[in-house]
């Protein structure tokens, strides 16, 4: 027996300003999150994007076609309720940042990593006042505790909506620096994603593509691009 699916019951989705931000109304009824919390959004742009997603539903509601709504729900129901824990988890990426762990060989890959990743470490030193040190191999590389503390403080400053987006930018790339570079528009999300997959791209060039892995990577790339969009809407 097929599962029950919610169907469209409203005629119009609209944006309404509230004392705390903006919300989306369905025929005058305010939208709530899955946890029954009022869907209060930080910007009119985000509320407009959510309203467009609700307006685009035709017949059965498809949550997969509502990425901004899903991210907003996560920000309110999950991130806002455990902000310190999420921020702390992301800050830990600074100690093991992808950009700091380099190949020992072959020389072509070593050179490619240096050419692609060193400029981002230089940017972080200038823009974030943090210098992370790269090293060859997979052994743990201790970083300056003061630098890690400054990165942690920057993550903790993000509100729940930006932190929800930042969670995906960092978690999917494996790099706190790439997350900040994308959030600060130093890189486009497409550029940041390509840099995060430099090693995988190298392997594909040597041995050819795996169709299943390529398809999964394409889905993750779209989710990464969405995370940047959601950050901008915040």
If asked whether residues 58 and 113 sit together in one domain, one would say no
Q: How far is CA 50 from CA 40, 66, 127, 133, in A?
A: 11, 7, 32, 41
Domain that holds residue 2: 1-65
Query: Is residue 40 located within the same domain as residue 154?
Result: no
Please list the pLDDT of the chain residue by residue as tens digits (234 residues): 345 457 778 889 999 999 999 999 999 999 999 999 999 999 999 999 999 999 998 888 888 899 999 999 999 999 999 999 999 999 999 999 999 999 999 999 999 999 999 999 999 999 999 999 999 988 888 999 999 999 999 999 999 999 999 999 999 999 999 999 999 999 999 999 999 999 999 999 999 888 899 999 999 999 999 999 999 999
Count other C-beta atoms under 10 Å from residue 74's C-beta: 20
Residue 190, pLDDT score: 98
What does pTM read for this prediction? Answer: 0.94
Q: Give me the number of domains the chain comprises.
A: 2
Is there a single domain that holds both residue 122 and residue 202? Answer: yes
Compute φ and ψ for 97, nearest 5 degrees: -60, 135
132 near 124, Cβ under 8 Å?
Answer: yes
92 HSE (CA, 13 A, CB side): 6
Take residue 105 and report the two structure tokens written for it.
């060989």
Domain co-membership, 46 together with 128: no
Same domain, 50 and 115: no
Q: In this structure, are residues 195 and 115 in contact, taking their beta carbons and an 8 Å threshold?
A: no
Q: Nearest to residue 14, comparing CAs of 2, 5, 6, 22?
A: 22
């Amino acid at each position: 027996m097929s599962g029950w699916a919610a169907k469209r019951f409203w005629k119009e989705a609209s944006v309404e300003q509230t004392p705390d931000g903006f919300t989306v109304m369905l025929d005058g009824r305010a939208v709530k999150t899955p946890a029954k919390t009022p869907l209060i959004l930080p910007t009119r742009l985000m509320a407009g994007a959510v309203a467009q997603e609700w307006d685009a539903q035709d017949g059965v509601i498809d949550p997969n076609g509502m990425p901004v709504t899903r991210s907003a729900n996560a920000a309110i129901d999950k991130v806002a309720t455990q902000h310190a824990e999420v921020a702390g988890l992301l800050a830990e990426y600074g100690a093991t940042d992808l950009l700091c762990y380099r190949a020992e060989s072959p020389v072509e890959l070593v050179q490619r990593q240096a050419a692609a990743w060193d400029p981002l470490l230089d940017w972080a030193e200038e823009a974030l006042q943090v210098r992370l040190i790269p090293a060859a191999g997979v052994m743990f590389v201790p970083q300056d505790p003061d630098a890690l503390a400054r990165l942690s403080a920057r993550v903790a400053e993000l509100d729940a909506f930006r932190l929800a987006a930042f969670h995906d930018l960092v978690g999917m790339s494996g790099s706190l620096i790439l997350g900040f570079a994308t959030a600060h528009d130093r890189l486009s999300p497409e550029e940041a994603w390509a840099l995060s997959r430099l090693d995988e791209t190298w392997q594909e060039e040597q041995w050819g593509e795996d169709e299943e892995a390529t398809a999964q990577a394409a889905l993750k790339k779209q989710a990464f691009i969405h995370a940047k969009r959601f950050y901008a809407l915040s």
